[in-house]
Amino acid sequence: MDNFTMNENEYEIVKKLILSDDQYMNDFKIFFILYLYSYAKKYSYLKDAENSRELYKNVYKNTIGWLHIM
């Protein structure tokens, strides 16, 4: 997991890119949505089949909420 850590300078560079560059921000939002969706889908076997639709609705609502904050 240490391969994916960022030092403080790298974090600041990415933060500035996300906040200032519209195209980069849009790409980041798409990546964020896909990451959350894939994470939820990966662990959806832990839930019953009936709850999976509700789970995806909740993940979608939470993702939209996070994107609204960004």
Give domain limits for the chain: 2-69
Tally of CA atoms within 13 A in the half-sphere of 12 that contains its CB:
3
CA distance 3 to 20: 26
Contacts of residue 37, Cβ cutoff 8 Å, sequence gap at least 6 = 59, 63
| Cβ atoms within 10 Å, residue 3 | 4
User: Model confidence at 4, in pLDDT bands (50, 70, 90)?
Assistant: low
Confidence of residue 70 (pLDDT cuts 50, 70, 90): low
Summarised one tens digit per residue, pLDDT across range 14-23 is 888 888 888 8
Return the pLDDT at 15. 84
Could you tell me how many helices (H) and strands (E) the chain has, helices first?
3, 0
Which tens digits make up the pLDDT trace of 13-47?
888 888 888 888 888 888 888 888 888 777 766 65
